[in-house]
């Protein structure tokens, strides 16, 4: 079955908008109404004294023609063809021609008919945004002057009527100028309003994006406890599974502890709220509304603490980078002198003291190296890793730490595919392997390395049969300089997590009853 092609649509001029076409449609509706009124009046009074003999029928004929043209104009307006300005000019020209012909049928009606042109000129100026308004006034003036001049030549009117015609023409120009001026002012105001609306819309969009992506949770709550608005971040920080209904849900129903805090007066400092997902500091700000609405700001203290730690380590890294050369040179000299003293020691006591000096010098050197590595964590060069390369890296680290082969059980699938900076991955795995070997029982199978995939994620788990991490130490496990080992620097696990985050990976501790367990999660390749 064939379908007829769709009719071509004529694009409107870029200077005109749908509102212009609607105004033109209303203007033509006035024309249709006027034409009907003229047809009715001409038919009713055709034989009256208003018209000279045989002029009434001519009046009715012109009125009927006017009605037909106005009906045809409807089709052009609906199709938006021809262009807007051409249609408007054609409408005004028809108005001028028809009114001039109607004026010629009766000199008694000429003055009243001429006033109809004032409406057409004013409407044309307003509908057409003030364009060509003075041209329409000039066309109407010329038509009226010509019509009256023909009447004078035919001795139907006297010369004294030119004064009245002149006043009517002056009215045409005054109306045209006034319509042009008012339209230009209205357009200027409309442009200003549109610019302000666009700026307000931009500001609203900026505010919306800033609020939705704020690291703090934001809630707007009425004085009676009904929630106005809650951002997704606030929803996540409070650990809520479903979003409240704005204007209906009460704060008491979804978060009773937070509702209790908002009822109390905060005299010293903002209170702290512990939720299943975060530890929050709650601040409130009055919005200055009649319903006593207030804004609740939920600050994630853990994120603030991590930021403070990063700033601290960044400052320490810059400081260490500047003085590393000055520190390492004396350390090298101290280490070398300690070796010489131990080799030339006369008794065991001197050798012991030389060993203490050497061990502490190596500890300081390792501390400087770890801080320098932390300072270089953003220098990424990710490369592909598969099961073979990962197994080779684990075997290399095991041999470096002199861990027996039977002490480590590696469970790994045959296919793996992920990307990681090789130096960073080496540092992370070395830290985890060294810690696991330090705290395990050092028997066959004491260390278990399991690699598996979960969706697109690749997880590398390190488990040992040691005592694990005590519950009181678990919250501080990844803090810088926290260690339970007298010989440790306290930077190993913190450095490992920072390097993991630099590679868009995540390092976590999984508490349990069967020793320590750490898990490194990294996104696999698609």
Helix spans in 278-347 (H): 301-343
Greater confidence, 193 or 275? 193
pLDDT at residue number 92? 95
Helix spans in 401-480 (H): 422-439
Mean pLDDT of 462-477: 86
Q: What is the spatial distance between Cα 376 and Cα 118, in angstroms, rounded to a whole number?
A: 82
Mean pLDDT of 274-283: 84
pLDDT at residue number 59? 95
Mean pLDDT of 151-157: 85
pLDDT at residue number 19? 82
Residue 21 has pLDDT above 50, yes or no: yes
Virtual torsion, Cα 245, 247, 248, 249, nearest 10 deg: 60
pLDDT band at 477 (very low <50, low <70, confident <90, very high): confident
pLDDT at residue number 67? 96
pLDDT digits (tens, 9 = 90+) for 218-238: 999 988 889 988 888 888 888
Tell me the fold of 383-523: Heat Shock Protein 90 (3.30.565)
Tell me the fold of 217-301: Beta-Lactamase (3.30.450)
Closest CA to 168 of 100, 117, 126, 122: 117
pLDDT at residue number 2? 41
Q: What is the spatial distance between Cα 252 and Cα 403, in angstroms, rounded to a whole number?
A: 57
pLDDT at residue number 323? 63
pLDDT at residue number 95? 96
3-state secondary structure of 449: strand
pLDDT digits (tens, 9 = 90+) for 303-344: 777 777 677 766 766 766 666 666 777 878 888 788 887 777
Mean pLDDT of 350-367: 77
Virtual torsion, Cα 496, 463, 435, 477, nearest 10 deg: 60
Residue 274 has pLDDT above 90, yes or no: no
pLDDT digits (tens, 9 = 90+) for 108-121: 888 889 999 999 99
Bridge partners of residue 458, in order along the sequence: 453, 522
pLDDT at residue number 273? 85
Which of 6-15, 32-41, 268-277, 332-341 holds the top average pLDDT? 32-41
Tokens of 483: 């260690």
pLDDT band at 362 (very low <50, low <70, confident <90, very high): confident
Q: What is the spatial distance between Cα 477 and Cα 498, in angstroms, rounded to a whole number?
A: 13
Percentage above 70 pLDDT, the chain: 90
pLDDT at residue number 11? 42
Instruction: Give the count of alpha carbons within 13 A of 253, CB side only.
Output: 13
- Low-confidence winner among 214-228, 275-289, 371-385 (lowest mean pLDDT): 371-385
What number of other Cβ atoms are within 10 A of residue 231's Cβ? 19
Percentage above 90 pLDDT, the chain: 37
Greater confidence, 425 or 129? 425
Closest CA to 445 of 514, 492, 493, 518: 514
Q: Which residue has the tokens 């408007």?
A: 88
pLDDT at residue number 161? 85
Mean pLDDT of the chain: 85
Q: What is the spatial distance between Cα 526 and Cα 521, in angstroms, rounded to a whole number?
A: 15
pLDDT at residue number 324? 65
């Amino acid at each position: 079955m064939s379908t007829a092609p769709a009719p071509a649509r004529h694009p409107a001029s870029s200077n005109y908008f749908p509102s212009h076409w609607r105004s033109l449609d209303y203007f033509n509706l006035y024309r249709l109404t006027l034409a009907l009124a003229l047809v009715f009046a001409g038919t009713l009074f055709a034989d009256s004294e208003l018209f000279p003999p045989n002029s009434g029928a001519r009046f009715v004929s012109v009125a009927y023609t006017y009605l037909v043209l106005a009906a045809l104009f409807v089709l052009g307006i609906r199709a938006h063809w021809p262009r807007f300005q051409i249609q408007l000019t054609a409408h005004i020209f028809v108005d001028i021609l028809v009114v001039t012909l109607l004026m010629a049928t009766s000199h008694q009606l000429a003055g009243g008919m001429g006033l109809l042109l004032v409406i057409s000129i004013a409407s044309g100026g307003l509908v057409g945004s003030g364009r060509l308004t003075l041209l329409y006034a000039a066309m109407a003036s010329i038509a009226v002057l010509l019509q009256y001049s023909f009447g004078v030549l035919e001795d139907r009117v006297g010369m004294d009527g030119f004064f009245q015609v002149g006043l009517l023409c002056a009215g045409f120009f005054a109306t045209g100028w006034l319509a042009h001026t008012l339209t230009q002012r209205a357009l200027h105001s409309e442009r200003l309003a549109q610019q302000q609306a666009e700026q307000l819309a931009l500001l609203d969009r900026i505010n919306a994006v800033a609020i939705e992506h704020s690291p703090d949770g934001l809630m707007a709550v009425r004085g009676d406890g009904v929630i106005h608005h809650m951002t997704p971040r606030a929803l996540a920080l409070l650990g809520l599974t479903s979003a409240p209904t704005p204007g209906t849900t009460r704060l008491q129903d979804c978060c009773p502890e937070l509702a209790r805090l908002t009822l109390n007066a905060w005299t010293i400092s903002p209170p702290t709220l512990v939720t299943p997902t975060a530890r929050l500091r709650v601040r409130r700000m009055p919005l200055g509304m009649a319903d006593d609405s207030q804004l609740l700001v939920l600050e994630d203290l853990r994120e603030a603490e991590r930021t403070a730690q990063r700033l601290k380590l960044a400052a320490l890294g810059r400081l260490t980078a500047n003085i590393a050369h000055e520190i390492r040179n004396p350390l090298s000299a101290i280490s070398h002198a300690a070796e010489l003293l131990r080799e030339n020691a006369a008794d065991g006591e001197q050798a012991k003291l030389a060993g203490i000096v050497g061990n502490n010098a190596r500890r300081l050197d390792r501390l400087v190296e770890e801080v320098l590595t932390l300072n270089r964590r953003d220098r990424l060069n990710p490369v592909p890793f598969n099961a073979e390369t990962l197994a080779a890296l684990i075997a290399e680290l095991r041999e470096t730490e002199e861990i027996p082969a039977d002490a480590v059980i590696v469970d790994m699938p045959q296919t793996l595919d992920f990307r990681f900076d090789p130096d960073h991955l080496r540092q992370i795995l070395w830290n985890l392997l060294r810690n696991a070997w330090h705290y395990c029982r050092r028997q066959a199978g004491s260390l278990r390395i399991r690699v598996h995939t979960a969706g697109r994620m690749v997880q590398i788990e390190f488990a040992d049969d040691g005592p694990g991490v005590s519950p009181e130490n678990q919250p501080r496990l990844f803090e810088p300089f926290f260690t339970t080992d007298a010989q440790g620097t306290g930077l190993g696990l913190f450095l490992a997590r920072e390097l993991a985050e630099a590679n868009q990976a995540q390092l976590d501790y999984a508490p349990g009853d069967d020793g320590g367990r750490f898990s490194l999660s990294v996104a696999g390749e698609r």
